[in-house]
Chain A
């Protein structure tokens, strides 16, 4: 088994930085960000062929965070891996900052602005198709929320991705089970999500989205099947890492008060 201590440390650092950003700016979506920390850390610590030096490389891998509301965590990731200065995080959501509450392509390292759900995957399909048509080897990765899979545009895009056999496309669904107004299962049940996705000509796998061993084992096998887009349903916990935020809908919205901030900081440092 590989040693993932370095990645665990990155994940802790990203959570601490995102907590500071959201606490200071009284912003929201900390729970949505915390559910995809390990996935993002794994992608940016070596799997994605992209780095601050490769931003203009036409052969770099493309990553799109379709759940653009996880911006605090994503910007903390970009700072952690050297795309933007860490000092920028202090100005998150402040006037004249490039870093706002939803992902913006004017920030170094961001390919595509997002924030309205259902846009990232169709754009990723366009990019993957462009790569195929021009015999390029780069891969295109889109990270989506599970609630976002209710959006019809994603199914339009999956339909095309399967039809065009885009095995250079990787779709990750952050399956934390909670969307803005409640449980995904209560709002629009998606129990057979993997079967639905497979029926669109994709190859879907389900993994534990917080376990680096499982994430690594899964990503090693991409593409899962030649001629098919690889789709990963990553089972995650909204608010993962801070016990009182875990699986709590309210942390889609809330910004921690002083006591909560201190308690969360203590807990993250003990991880």
Chain B
């Protein structure tokens, strides 16, 4: 996902000279091709995320540039949140924040590297568009959309090696959701790379329960009308996210269900508050009930 995204960024930058890239002293072996090809449009801001975001804002506003900012986990979000709010968002600056290591991708690095409150926090930022691609194909498509979309953008990326969820090419726009699998008994909604677990869960259930699997490559804004039309058909809705139980996907979908009077029970799969265990991502998912087998088993209990 990371390599696909950065390669695509270089392709876009060849055509669009507004594209600049600031890194927070991260991206070794990933960002060098951009830096070498566009030295005047590249800056390593050092380990200084607060000024990095403000510098990106000033750069963008002064010369009408589209400034990407690259870092990991919470460093380009929580560490510099007020700079994002006051500088980028209030001025509607064309600053595009890329954060690697969504959720518990960096499970072995531990708590400091878990980006598990970012959807809640970044979702609350005004004028902020949030992309949550599930695989490299979607990451590239999200980048194409985000470059063109004016104002601040947050790209929640994982790392490398994610498998494609769908073989065919498909297009989507800001606000759209993706249907990976159709079904009538329950709608499983996921954000990000956890969607691979959702799809496997649906396959495990196939003999007993017909599960629909939906992804939100664009977490904010949502096309609520389209989403309601879909959700209205289901008595059970499950949300799956590598994010804290609070303020993420479950909160957003739960609110939509409640506000629109939908008659559906919501099943929430998320990380417990303050989760701080260490281990490979798959093992941590298992600790939190987020593997395909665990999701399938919980859903089977409903039927």
Q: Do A and B bind each other?
A: yes
- A interface list, Cβ under 8 A from B: 58, 62, 105, 111-116, 118-119, 122-131, 133-134, 136, 140, 152-153, 156-157, 159-160
Residue-wise, chain B 64-92 has the 8 Å CB interface mask toward A (1 for contact) of: 01000000000000000011001100110
Residue of B40, B51, B91 contacting most chain A CB atoms (<10 Å): B51
B6 adjacent to chain A (CB < 8 Å): no
Q: Are A136 and B51 in contact (CB under 8 A)?
A: no
Q: Are B87 and A123 in contact (CB under 8 A)?
A: yes
Across the two chains, which residue of chain A brings its CB closest to B49? A156
B272 adjacent to chain A (CB < 8 Å): no
Q: CB-CB < 8 A to B63: which residues of A?
A: 58, 130-131, 133-134, 136
Across the two chains, which residue of chain B brings its CB closest to A126? B58
Q: CB-CB < 8 A to A116: which residues of B?
A: 82, 86
If A122-B51, A129-B55 are given as contacts, then 18 extra A-B residue pairs at C-beta distance below 8 Å, sorted by A number, are A112-B61, A113-B90, A119-B82, A119-B87, A122-B54, A122-B55, A123-B57, A125-B51, A126-B55, A128-B58, A129-B43, A133-B40, A133-B41, A134-B63, A140-B58, A156-B46, A160-B46, A160-B55
Chain A's nearest CB lies how many Å from the CB of B49? Answer: 9
- B interface list, Cβ under 8 A from A: 40-41, 43, 45-46, 48, 50-51, 53-63, 65, 82-83, 86-87, 90-91
Q: Are A123 and B46 in contact (CB under 8 A)?
A: no
Q: Are A156 and B58 in contact (CB under 8 A)?
A: no
Complex CA distance for A115 and B40, rounded to whole angstroms: 32
Residue of A124, A129, A152 contacting most chain B CB atoms (<10 Å): A129
Q: CB-CB < 8 A to B90: which residues of A?
A: 105, 113
Complex CA distance for A160 and B24, rounded to whole angstroms: 12
Across the two chains, which residue of chain A brings its CB closest to B42? A133
> What are some 28 contacts across the A-B interface (CB < 8 A)?
A58-B63, A111-B61, A112-B61, A113-B86, A113-B91, A118-B50, A122-B54, A123-B58, A123-B61, A125-B55, A126-B55, A126-B56, A126-B58, A126-B61, A126-B62, A127-B62, A128-B58, A129-B55, A129-B59, A130-B58, A131-B62, A133-B40, A133-B59, A140-B62, A152-B50, A159-B46, A160-B48, A160-B51
Q: Known: A119-B86, A123-B87. Is A130-B50 also a contact (CB below 8 A)?
A: no
Across the two chains, which residue of chain B brings its CB closest to A120? B54
Chain A's nearest CB lies how many Å from the CB of B51? Answer: 4
- Which one of B46, B58, B82, B83 lies within 8 Å of A129 (CB-CB)? B58
Q: CB-CB < 8 A to A105: which residues of B?
A: 90-91
Q: CB-CB < 8 A to A112: which residues of B?
A: 58, 61, 87, 91
Chain B's nearest CB lies how many Å from the CB of A193? Answer: 19
Q: CB-CB < 8 A to B43: which residues of A?
A: 129
Residue of B53, B57, B62, B65 contacting most chain A CB atoms (<10 Å): B62
Chain B's nearest CB lies how many Å from the CB of A123? Answer: 4
Across the two chains, which residue of chain A brings its CB closest to B85? A116
Q: A-B pairs with the 4 shortest C-beta distances?
A: A126-B58, A122-B54, A156-B51, A126-B55
Complex CA distance for A24 and B51, rounded to whole angstroms: 37
Q: CB-CB < 8 A to B83: which residues of A?
A: 119, 122, 153
- Which one of B40, B59, B86 lies within 8 Å of A127 (CB-CB)? B59
Q: Are B48 and A156 in contact (CB under 8 A)?
A: yes
Complex CA distance for A169 and B246, rounded to whole angstroms: 43
Q: CB-CB < 8 A to A152: which residues of B?
A: 50
Complex CA distance for A105 and B37, rounded to whole angstroms: 35
Q: Are A122 and B58 in contact (CB under 8 A)?
A: yes
Chain A's nearest CB lies how many Å from the CB of B240? Answer: 37
Q: CB-CB < 8 A to A128: which residues of B?
A: 58
Complex CA distance for A183 and B151, rounded to whole angstroms: 40
Q: Are A123 and B55 in contact (CB under 8 A)?
A: yes
- Which one of A62, A113, A153 lies within 8 Å of B54 (CB-CB)? A153
Q: Are B54 and A159 in contact (CB under 8 A)?
A: no
Q: CB-CB < 8 A to A62: which residues of B?
A: 62
Q: CB-CB < 8 A to B87: which residues of A?
A: 112, 119, 123
Q: CB-CB < 8 A to B46: which residues of A?
A: 156, 159-160
Across the two chains, which residue of chain B brings its CB closest to A104? B90
Q: CB-CB < 8 A to A133: which residues of B?
A: 40-41, 59, 63
Complex CA distance for A153 and B41, rounded to whole angstroms: 22
Complex CA distance for A35 and B87, rounded to whole angstroms: 26
Across the two chains, which residue of chain B brings its CB closest to A133? B40
Q: CB-CB < 8 A to B50: which residues of A?
A: 118, 122, 152-153, 156
Q: CB-CB < 8 A to B48: which residues of A?
A: 156, 159-160
Across the two chains, which residue of chain A brings its CB closest to B56? A126
Q: CB-CB < 8 A to B59: which residues of A?
A: 126-127, 129-130, 133
Q: CB-CB < 8 A to B61: which residues of A?
A: 111-112, 123, 126-127
Q: Known: A133-B40, A160-B45. Is A153-B51 also a contact (CB below 8 A)?
A: yes
